[in-house]
A and B are shown apart, each in its own frame.
Chain A
């Protein structure tokens, strides 16, 4: 590619595409070895079947055409203009601490606010960081958070990832505005494998917003993302994943957050687009006083299929986690939530909550909610709850009796229902974007 890419109203950004293109040949041997091991694991691991609890409701083999996947299959670098839709999103996102654009699994630009860069924050293409022998990347990439041994798809991603983002925040550095990653996927049927690695050192702060967009596809098109987040002592990390792909996009996410002593890692997973979205999120609270707020929001219509598999691992005492996933399902959409709170031995004074609420907007939509607890400590406060409900006809009558048409009344109720998640998140670009997407779905 020549020249930079205009972002946010004309600022030119550095071109990093060439570096990323060093590709397999230029990779250090430790990385090549990890890929080899991962590929072996992938081949040795059977496809998750619906006979296993974790994949019971998502027949992934039927949904995803991965049969003749080749190890060497890596797409060409992006060339040419950014698509109109992506440009609009970039332009409307506004001020951030940094911005990465990833096209078909390749980072084409990574820009960091100069002030933030001067404070020592590193933001780069993950491929670059791996090739430049960054010791943190070498230590943490696919080793502790989302290792290949986690399962079929983590193994596949570890073997085939083409690029992604590496963020490293030095001790004590607090980055106020979010860093945004915008991913675009365009090649029908060609799978994309990317990763995010965020390491927040002691007492640092960082927020990261990860958005996936694509056009509509004629056939199933996979994006696999592995997200690894480390919060060192007293650090605060906020991670948002916003999936707004086009039809027949399939998103498989493997996310793990590791929160050390007195740190917090808060996540939000939003699934609005695509045909299939499966998110495996594991929050590990490994240090005393760690905390994780885990939010999720989904709105399915037509035949959209969203499957969230979450776990909260309390491995240290005095840690806190609070999960709230809410979804509305219209048409023949299907929502699955399967969550578990695991309080490990010795994790006394654990405070852990888990709530999943579903609102069915049609007789053909289905929600399955499976909350679970596994407690091996005796001094804990835990609760879990799940609901699947329909639009409350009394609420609709109440609103209509004030002059709102039925459709308006229903939209207001849905908006209020999902809005609870956004109000926990607080106002900002994400909340606006999500609300706008929901509005658009509601008026259809």
Chain B
């Protein structure tokens, strides 16, 4: 029996809110519980835009279609409500928040999930945080650094996965988490993601990448190719291997704007 989808994107069209320029031109995508889907595609094809529209970035307007998480419509929700519903996006370009420590921020994020009047247990939080940091091979002092401020490119990516590990989403959208990571860091991060999946086999992952390399460590159930704001091909892991060999020229020719 096939499980019902965690994420269902259908006919999604989206444009830049400020200018009205259309970027997503009818995206269809379905991810079931526990599945890993990869999206590949040339620069500027709309991968990050799709991730941001799923997470609720105010800079984009959804013009048509729907995005549902476990059947619940996401497009009408604020970004924080989507997070509460179980969406997490690891940013391609994590944002710097000077003066706010990672520990402090994650504590607030966990506290925000509790009912009014409920207090996060600080010891539980410490345990959770140090456990996750250990899993990702991070020094405990890292939690006292400011969120992304002054972090190296690789540290920022690792920080994204740390947050994902702490927040334990139902759907993790990882936007090019692998770019900027060195080979060892990539392995550690991939092992971390796999460990999280072991812990929670229902967790689904939408993994945006340009490289086959990460897919060797986090094996996708499906690989999609996005060109010009549409998913133009979907298949098994072999699709990624073909792309590695042939590039996007053929797709670009047949799916020009």
Residues of A within 8 A of B (CB): 392-395, 397-406, 408-409, 412-413, 415-420, 423
Contacts and interface: CB of A to CB of B under 8 A. Distances in A.
A392 B95 contact: yes
B241 interface: no
Contacts of B80: 400-406, 409
B98 A417 contact: yes
A394 B95 contact: yes
A409 B97 CA distance: 10
Contacts of B56: 397, 400-401
B113 interface: yes
A415 B108 CA distance: 13
Contact of A403 (B83, B95, B98, B100): B83
Interface string B59-89: 1000000000000000000111011100111
Given A395-B97, A423-B99, 8 more contacts: A397-B57, A397-B79, A400-B79, A401-B79, A402-B83, A402-B109, A409-B80, A416-B146
A398 B94 contact: yes
Interface core residue of B87, B91, B95, B146 (most chain A CB under 10 Å):
B95
23 contacts: A393-B59, A394-B95, A395-B96, A397-B56, A398-B91, A398-B94, A398-B97, A400-B80, A401-B55, A401-B79, A402-B106, A403-B80, A403-B112, A404-B80, A404-B108, A404-B109, A406-B80, A415-B99, A416-B98, A417-B99, A420-B98, A420-B99, A423-B99
Contacts, number: 80
Contacts of A419: 99-100
B108 A413 contact: no
Interface of B: 55-59, 78-80, 82-84, 87-89, 91, 94-100, 105-106, 108-109, 112-113, 146, 163, 167
Contacts of B108: 404, 408, 412
Contacts of B146: 416
Where chain B touches its partner, the secondary structure class is mixed
Contact of A412 (B84, B100, B113): B100
A408 B97 contact: no
A115 to B, nearest CB: 35
A394 B91 CA distance: 11
A423 B57 CA distance: 32
A397 B58 contact: yes
Nearest to A393: B58
Contacts of A405: 80, 112
Contacts of A417: 98-99
A366 B88 CA distance: 36
Interface core residue of A393, A395, A402, A412 (most chain B CB under 10 Å):
A402
A248 to B, nearest CB: 31
Given A402-B167, A404-B109, A416 B78 contact: no
A402 B58 contact: no
Given A397-B57, A406-B78, A416 B97 contact: yes
A413 B112 contact: no
Contacts of B58: 393, 397
A419 to B, nearest CB: 4
A315 B226 CA distance: 65
A437 B163 CA distance: 30
B78 A395 contact: no
Contacts of A408: 108, 112
